[in-house]
C-alpha cells in the first residue's frame, strides 16, 4: 500500500490525539508482572500494539480489546517469545524485565522495528546481570535465567527501553535496587505510576535516580495511556508545512515543550492545558541548529518531521542526530527527490529550504514515513509515499485524520 497525496492544500480545523504507542507498549509489557487484570484505556489501534497483544496471547496471557480499552490477565504458559511476532516490533523487548522478574527466565529473539540504527540491547542485559540474572546472548536470541536481586546500577546512557525493563525487573526483585541515569520521558513516568498502582515501591518517580524496594507480588490496576506527543507534533508540523491553522486537542503540551518552543519562535502558537493551536502565515527563514538528545531536550523521534519542515522553509537549518546513526540518511535522499537541498555528513544534516515538488518516495521507518508525508503535503502536485506499513505502526488512520483537516490523501 501507499499514500497518494495532492500537496499544496492548507490544513485547517481541529484534530485530536490518541494514546501513545510507546506508553502502551511499556504498559502491556508490564502486565506480565501480575496474574490480575490490567485494564488499559486510550490504547491506540495501531499495528505495533496489535502485535504486542498477539505476542502476549501466544505466550499464554488472556487479552481482550473493546474499543480503545485493552484488558490483560492470566499467566504465561511459555517464557519463550515466538520469533514470528517478536521480530515485528522493537517493543517486544519490553517483556524482558517483567518476565524475568515474575517467571525467572525468558528466551527472546532480537526485536524488530525500524531500520534507524543499531539500538543495542547491551544496557538491558548488563543491568539484568547486575541484578544477578544469568544472561546468554547468542546473537539472534537472548536467554535470561535467575531470580533478580536488588543492586545498584548506573545506565551508561539514559535509554528508555532499558530503564523500563530494569524497573520491571526490580519491582519483584529480592531487596532494594537503585537505578541511576534513568530515562525520564513521559512514557517512563507513566509506567512508574502504573507500577505503583500495582503495589510496587518506587521512590524518585520522574527523576534520573530510582529507588525500588522489591515486593512479593503485584496486583491488578486500571490505567489510561498518556496522549502521544509524537503524533501531536506530527499534526502541528503538517500545519506548519502547509501554512495551515489547526487546533491539536487531547494532548499534553508539556510533554513536547522542546518542539513547541521551536514552533513558537517562528509561528503564531497558543498553548493551553490540553490543546495547542497554530496559525502558520508564512514559511520561516529556517529553523537554526537542532540537536537531538534525551528528554526533556529535543526528541530524536521528532527529528524526521523537522527535517521535512526545514526542507520546505525559506532558510538554513542544521540538524545534529546524536542518538541513532542511520536516522538522517534515508529521508535526506528521499527529500532530495522532491527538490530538497540536503547534505548529510556523519550525523549532521545541513538543509537549505526551498519549494518542494511532487515525487514518488518510500518510507523506511515509522517517523521517517511521517516526515515524508509532511513534505508531500507541502509540495506542489501529486506525490506517492510508499511503505505505509511502517507508518501504520504508530499512527491511527493517518490518511483519514489528515483528510479531516483538509489534506487530499488516499490509500492506494
Asked if pLDDT for residue 115 goes beyond 50, the answer is no
CATH of domain 21-224: 3.65.10.10
Asked if pLDDT for residue 394 goes beyond 50, the answer is yes
How much is the average pLDDT of 352-363? 97
Of the residues 23, 43, 80, 114, which is catalytic? 114
Would you state the pLDDT for residue 140?
82
How much is the average pLDDT of 266-278? 98
Would you state the pLDDT for residue 325?
63
Confidence of residue 114 (pLDDT cuts 50, 70, 90): very low
Degrees to nearest 5, angle at CA 144 with 138 and 145: 135
Residues in contact with 198: Cβ distance below 8 Å, sequence separation at least 6, in sequence order: 30, 33, 34, 38, 171, 218, 219, 220, 221
Pairwise CA distance, residues 68 & 57, whole Å:
18
Strands 276-279 and 152-154: unpaired
Asked if pLDDT for residue 272 goes beyond 80, the answer is yes
Confidence of residue 118 (pLDDT cuts 50, 70, 90): very low
Asked if pLDDT for residue 117 goes beyond 60, the answer is no
> Of the ranges 86-90, 236-240, 376-380, which one carries the lowest mean pLDDT score?
86-90
Is pLDDT larger for residue 325 or for residue 142? 142
Q: Which three cell numbers stand for residue 238?
A: 503538517
Would you state the pLDDT for residue 120?
67
Domain boundaries, the chain: 2-17+227-411, 21-224
Would you state the pLDDT for residue 111?
76
CATH of domain 2-17+227-411: 3.65.10.10
How much is the average pLDDT of 95-122? 79
Segment 362-375, tens digit of pLDDT: 999 999 999 999 99
Mean pLDDT for the chain? Answer: 95
Instruction: Please say if 264 is a catalytic residue.
Output: no
Same fold, 2-17+227-411 and 21-224: yes
The helix or strand, by DSSP H or E, that contains position 141, with its residue range, turns out to be strand 141-145
Would you state the pLDDT for residue 323?
81
DSSP 227-277: B-HHHHHHHHHHHHHTT-EEEEES--GGGGHHHHHHHHTTSEEEE-SS-EE
Would you state the pLDDT for residue 211?
98
Amino acid at each position: 500500500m501507499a499514500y497518494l497525496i495532492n500537496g499544496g492544500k492548507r490544513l485547517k480545523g481541529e484534530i485530536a490525539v490518541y494514546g501513545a504507542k510507546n506508553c502502551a507498549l511499556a504498559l502491556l509489557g508490564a502486565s506480565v508482572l501480575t496474574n490480575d487484570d490490567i485494564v488499559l484505556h486510550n490504547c491506540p489501534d495501531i499495528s505495533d500494539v496489535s502485535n504486542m497483544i498477539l505476542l502476549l496471547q501466544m505466550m499464554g496471557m488472556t487479552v481482550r480489546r473493546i474499543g480503545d480499552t485493552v484488558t490483560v490477565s492470566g499467566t504465561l504458559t511459555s517464557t519463550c517469545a515466538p520469533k514470528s511476532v517478536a521480530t515485528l516490533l522493537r517493543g517486544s523487548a519490553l517483556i524482558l524485565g517483567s518476565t524475568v522478574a515474575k517467571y525467572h527466565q525468558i528466551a527472546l529473539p532480537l526485536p524488530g522495528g525500524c531500520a534507524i540504527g543499531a539500538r543495542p540491547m547491551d544496557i538491558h542485559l548488563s543491568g539484568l546481570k547486575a541484578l544477578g540474572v544469568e544472561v546468554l546472548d547468542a546473537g539472534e536470541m537472548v536467554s535470561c535465567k535467575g531470580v533478580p536481586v536488588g543492586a545498584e546500577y548506573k545506565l551508561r546512557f539514559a535509554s528508555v527501553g532499558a530503564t523500563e525493563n530494569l524497573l520491571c525487573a526490580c519491582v519483584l526483585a529480592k531487596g532494594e535496587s537503585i537505578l541511576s541515569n534513568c530515562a525520564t520521558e513521559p512514557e517512563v513516568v507513566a509506567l512508574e505510576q502504573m507500577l505503583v498502582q500495582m503495589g510496587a515501591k518506587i521512590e524518585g518517580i520522574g527523576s534520573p535516580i530510582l529507588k525500588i524496594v522489591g515486593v512479593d507480588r503485584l496486583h491488578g490496576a486500571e490505567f489510561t495511556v498518556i496522549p502521544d506527543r509524537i503524533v501531536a507534533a506530527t499534526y502541528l508540523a503538517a500545519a506548519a508545512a502547509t501554512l495551515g491553522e489547526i487546533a491539536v486537542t487531547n494532548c499534553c503540551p508539556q510533554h513536547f515543550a522542546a518542539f513547541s518552543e521551536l514552533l513558537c519562535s517562528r509561528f503564531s502558537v497558543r498553548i493551553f492545558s490540553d490543546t495547542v493551536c497554530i496559525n502558520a502565515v508564512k514559511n520561516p527563514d529556517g529553523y537554526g541548529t537542532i540537536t537531538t538528545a534525551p528528554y526533556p531536550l529535543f526528541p530524536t523521534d521528532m527529528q524526521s518531521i523537522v527535517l521535512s519542515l526545514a526542507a520546505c522553509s525559506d532558510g538554513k537549518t542544521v540538524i545534529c542526530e546524536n542518538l541513532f546513526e542511520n536516522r538522517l540518511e534515508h529521508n535526506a535522499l528521499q527529500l532530495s527527490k522532491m527538490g530538497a537541498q540536503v547534505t548529510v555528513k556523519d550525523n549532521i544534516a545541513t538543509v537549505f529550504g526551498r519549494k518542494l515538488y511532487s515525487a514518488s518516495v518510500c518510507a523506511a521507518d515509522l517517523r521517517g514515513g511521517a516526515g515524508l508525508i509532511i513534505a508531500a503535503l507541502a509540495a506542489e502536485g501529486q506525490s506517492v509515499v510508499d511503505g505505509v506499513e511502517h507508518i501504520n505502526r504508530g499512527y491511527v488512520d493517518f490518511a483519514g485524520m489528515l483528510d479531516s483537516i483538509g489534506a487530499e490523501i488516499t490509500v492506494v
